Copies of this chain bind each other. A is one copy, B any other.
Amino acid sequence: MNLENAMLSIEKLKEIQKEAKTARGAILKMTTLAKSGHPGGSMSMIDFLLTLYHMIDIEPDNPHWQNRDRVVMSAGHVSPAVYSTLAAVGFFDVDAAISQFRLAGSIFEGHVEPDVPGVEWASGNLGQGLSAGCGFALAARIRKTAHHVFVLMGDGEQQKGQLAEARKFAVKYKLNNLTAFIDYNKLQISGKIDEVMPNNIMDCYLADGWDVIEIDGHDLIEIRDAILDAVENDNPTLILAHTTMGKGVSFMEDQHKYHGAPIKEEHLSLALLELGQKNDLEKYKELRSRFILEKFLPKPKKDFDLKLGKPIVYKDKTDNRSAWGNAVADIAKLNPEAQLAVFDCDLQGSVKTNAFEKEMPNNFFQGGIMEHNTAVIAAAVSKEGIQTFWADFGVFGVDETYNQHRLSDINHTNLKVITTHVGLDVGEDGKTHQCIDYLGVMKNIYNFKTIIPADPNQTDQVIRYISGKYGNFLVPMGRSKLEIIKTRDGKIIFAENYEFEYGKADLLRDGSDAAMFVMGTVAGRAVEAADRLAEKGISIQLWNVSCPIDLDEDALQKAAATGTVFTYEDHNVQTGLGNSIADKMMQLGLSCKFHKFGVEDYAFSGSSEEVFKACRLDVEAVVERIEAVMRGDV
A384 at the interface (CB under 8 A from B): no
A109 at the interface (CB under 8 A from B): yes
Cα–Cα distance between A293 and B443 once the two chains are bound (Å)? 35
A339 at the interface (CB under 8 A from B): no
Instruction: Give the chain B neighbours of A601 by CB distance below 8 A.
Output: 446
A368 at the interface (CB under 8 A from B): yes
Digitize A255-293: 1 where CB-to-B-CB distance is under 8 Å, 0 elsewhere: 000000000000000000000000000000000000001
A3 at the interface (CB under 8 A from B): no
Query: By CB atoms of chain B within 10 A, which of A432, A585, A591 has the most?
Result: A432
* Contact yes or no, A168 B432, CB < 8 A: no
A574 at the interface (CB under 8 A from B): yes
Q: List 15 A-B contacts (CB under 8 A).
A: A34-B428, A104-B610, A111-B605, A124-B433, A161-B161, A161-B162, A189-B349, A197-B346, A198-B209, A199-B368, A200-B208, A200-B209, A578-B583, A589-B594, A591-B591
A13 at the interface (CB under 8 A from B): no
Digitize A523-565: 1 where CB-to-B-CB distance is under 8 Å, 0 elsewhere: 0000000000000000000000000010000000000000000
Please name 13 further chain A to chain B contacts, defined as beta carbons within 8 Å, in addition to the given A204-B208, A440-B440, sorted by A numbering.
Answer: A111-B430, A124-B430, A124-B432, A161-B164, A169-B197, A293-B614, A402-B441, A406-B437, A443-B575, A574-B583, A582-B585, A582-B587, A587-B596
Band of interface residues on A: 35 or more
Instruction: Give the chain B neighbours of A370 by CB distance below 8 A.
Output: 159-161, 197
Cα–Cα distance between A160 and B190 once the two chains are bound (Å)? 27
A76 at the interface (CB under 8 A from B): yes
Of the candidates B127, B161, B431, B572, which one forms a contact with A113 in the assembled complex, judged by CB atoms under 8 Å apart?
Answer: B431
Digitize A21-60: 1 where CB-to-B-CB distance is under 8 Å, 0 elsewhere: 0000000000000101100000000000000000000000
* Contact yes or no, B583 A127, CB < 8 A: no
What's the least CB distance linking A442 to chain B, in Å?
10
Cα–Cα distance between A367 and B159 once the two chains are bound (Å)? 10
A171-B198 contact given A159-B369, A602-B446, A606-B102, CB 8 Å threshold: yes
* Contact yes or no, A172 B197, CB < 8 A: yes
Cα–Cα distance between A572 and B102 once the two chains are bound (Å)? 22
Instruction: Give the chain B neighbours of A185 by CB distance below 8 A.
Output: none
Of the candidates B188, B610, B613, which one forms a contact with A103 in the assembled complex, judged by CB atoms under 8 Å apart?
Answer: B610
A156-B444 contact given A428-B34, A587-B594, CB 8 Å threshold: no
* Contact yes or no, A197 B604, CB < 8 A: no
A347 at the interface (CB under 8 A from B): yes
A122 at the interface (CB under 8 A from B): yes
Residue in chain B with minimal CB distance to A575: B444
Find residues 398-436 in chain A having any chain B CB closer than 8 Å to their own CB.
399-400, 402-403, 406-407, 410, 427-433
Cα–Cα distance between A127 and B164 once the two chains are bound (Å)? 13
Instruction: Give the chain B neighbours of A127 by CB distance below 8 A.
Output: 369
* Contact yes or no, B188 A346, CB < 8 A: yes
A125-B395 contact given A157-B369, A161-B164, A164-B161, CB 8 Å threshold: yes
* Contact yes or no, B126 A605, CB < 8 A: no
Instruction: Give the chain B neighbours of A399 by CB distance below 8 A.
Output: 402-403, 406
Instruction: Give the chain B neighbours of A90 by CB distance below 8 A.
Output: none
A488 at the interface (CB under 8 A from B): no
Of the candidates B395, B431, B595, which one forms a contact with A109 in the assembled complex, judged by CB atoms under 8 Å apart?
Answer: B431
* Contact yes or no, B395 A403, CB < 8 A: yes
Query: By CB atoms of chain B within 10 A, which of A104, A124, A198, A574 has the most?
Result: A104
A400-B583 contact given A197-B169, A368-B196, CB 8 Å threshold: no
